[in-house]
């Protein structure tokens, strides 16, 4: 029986991705070598990187003026790279959970950080609204999906400063208007590939405006100018990411994935609302994630948590 891992990440990958990656580990593109031991500058792997970049742009309908790069360090490195490249004097952040808090912590090393809204007062169980973004902010940072607390921003915000989004756990889950963002980034292990690679979609004209020198490896322009090949990229995760991108296209793309995700989420939320054993951790429906459906046992059934967990494990 195929078991299912409901962890936020590393999480389940399509069988298509796993099968093709396993085959490439033994014999990559007919080279007789494993994908783990070929040069990243061989034509066979260069083709993988080129196709992954092209499909990334196609699936998300990324407009001209933007570049896609694959990087090491995970989304946590982006918590540092974003302010290093963009924060000159002041940045605005929306605090909606653990990962947003970590991003805020890193940004404070580079300049003033204005926390325009926070849901920490209620254990991050809602998306703050009615906040004001300073007009002189260098950028506004959001975390679109919060895996731990089960909230999600499911719209492309209209703001008057460059918008930066951590989309680690909901990238490719719905169509997005990339033109509304300055940078979209994420770790791949929650929705795209095994851990080890991060992605960034960067609007080129927002770069080069800070006063500080930027270390070569932390400069987005380095990786854009070198097509993600400035140093050895995470070869295996990039190959796996390509397989998932191919699979996503074959499934009908992000519009089809959005319909599938909403259908599955509605099924789960309906049962949580119906069943007296459970309660959702996010009260307001408009704030609920369709990627991570978080719930707990109602207080009167807390003693059944262990039995419920063991039963779920027994079913895979």
One of 138, 190, 203, 287 is an active-site residue; which one?
A: 190
| Binding site members | 41, 75-76, 99, 147, 166, 189, 231-232
* DSSP line for 70-100: EESSHHHHHHHHHHHHH-SSEEEEEE-SHHH
Give catalytic status of residue 129 as yes or no.
Answer: no
Q: Tell me the C-alpha to C-alpha distance, in Å, between residue 157 and each of 58, 111, 172, 212, 224.
A: 22, 24, 17, 29, 26
Cα distance between residue 304 and residue 126, in whole Å: 27
Question: Is residue 298 helix, strand or coil?
Answer: coil
| Binding site members for L-glutamate | 41
The candidate with the shortest Cα–Cα distance to 92, out of 130, 127, 124, 136, is 136
One of 2, 90, 136, 166 is an active-site residue; which one?
A: 166
Question: Is residue 161 helix, strand or coil?
Answer: coil
| Binding site members for pyridoxal 5'-phosphate | 75-76, 99, 147, 166, 189, 231-232
Torsions phi, psi for 306 (to 5 deg) = -65, -45
Cα distance between residue 311 and residue 316, in whole Å: 9
Per the CB < 8 A criterion, the answer to whether 113 and 104 are in contact is yes
Cα distance between residue 184 and residue 167, in whole Å: 7
Give catalytic status of residue 190 as yes or no.
Answer: yes
Give catalytic status of residue 166 as yes or no.
Answer: yes
Residues marked active site are found at 99, 166, 190
């Amino acid at each position: 029986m195929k078991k299912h891992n409901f962890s936020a990440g590393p999480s389940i990958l399509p069988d298509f991705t796993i099968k093709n990656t396993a085959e490439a580990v033994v014999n990559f593109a007919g080279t007789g070598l494993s994908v783990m031991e070929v040069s990243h500058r061989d034509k066979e792997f260069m083709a993988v990187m080129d196709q992954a970049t092209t499909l990334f742009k196609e699936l998300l309908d990324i407009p001209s003026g933007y570049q896609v790069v694959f990087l090491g360090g995970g989304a946590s490195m982006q918590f540092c790279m974003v302010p290093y490249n963009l924060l000159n004097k002041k940045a605005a952040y929306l605090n909606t959970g653990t990962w947003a808090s970590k991003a805020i912590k890193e940004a404070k090393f580079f300049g003033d950080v204005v926390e325009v809204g926070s849901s920490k007062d209620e254990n991050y169980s809602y998306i703050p609204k009615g906040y004001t973004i300073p007009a002189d902010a260098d950028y506004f940072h959001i975390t679109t999906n919060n895996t731990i607390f089960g909230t999600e921003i499911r719209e492309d915000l209209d703001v008057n400063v460059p918008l930066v989004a951590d989309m680690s756990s909901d990238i490719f889950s719905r169509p997005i208007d990339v033109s509304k963002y300055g940078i979209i980034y994420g770790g791949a292990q929650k929705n795209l590939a095994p851990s080890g690679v991060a992605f960034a979609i960067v609007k080129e004209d927002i770069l080069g405006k800070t006063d500080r020198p930027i270390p070569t490896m932390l400069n987005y322009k380095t990786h854009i100018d070198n097509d993600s090949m400035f140093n050895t990229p995470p070869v295996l995760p990039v190959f796996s990411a390509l397989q998932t991108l191919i699979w996503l296209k074959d499934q009908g793309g992000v519009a089809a994935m959005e319909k599938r995700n909403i259908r599955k989420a509605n099924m789960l939320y309906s049962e949580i609302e119906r069943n007296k054993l459970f309660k959702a951790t996010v009260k307001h429906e408009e704030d609920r994630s369709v990627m991570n459906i978080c719930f707990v046992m109602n207080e009167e059934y807390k003693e059944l948590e262990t039995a419920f967990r063991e039963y779920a494990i027994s079913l895979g």
